[in-house]
Amino acid sequence: MKDLIKHIVQTMVDEPEEVEISEIEGDQSTVLKLRVAKADIGKVIGKKGRNVRAIRTILSAASAKEKKHTVLEILE
């Protein structure tokens, strides 16, 4: 899961080496914390949050089979 999101984000940003994701797992939900280069934050979020919404939709579909919730946070 983490690797896929990292891969997707890396293809969207200008500085793929700066992409960092940490995962905090709980019983009910998993929190993914995403950190990218400052200039790339806008690219990850997208126009009116369109990019990040698409990523979150895919995450929730992917975690549905494990009956868990996954939260994606973008840190700055």
Binding footprint of another protein on the chain (CB under 8 A): 1, 3-4, 7-8, 10-12, 16-17, 38, 48, 50-51, 53-55, 57-58, 61-62, 64-65, 76
Output 26 or 39, the one with its CB closest to another protein.
39
- Which of 24/61 has CB closer to another protein? 61
Interatomic CA distance for residues 52 and 25, integer angstroms: 20
Least distance in angstroms from the C-beta of 59 to another protein? 9
Query: Coil, strand or helix: which one is 27?
Result: coil
Residue 34, φ and ψ in degrees, nearest 5: -110, 130
Tokens 């494990």 identify what position?
A: 66
- Find the shortest distance in angstroms from Cβ 76 to another protein: 7
Q: Is 5 helix (H, G, I), strand (E, B) or coil?
A: helix
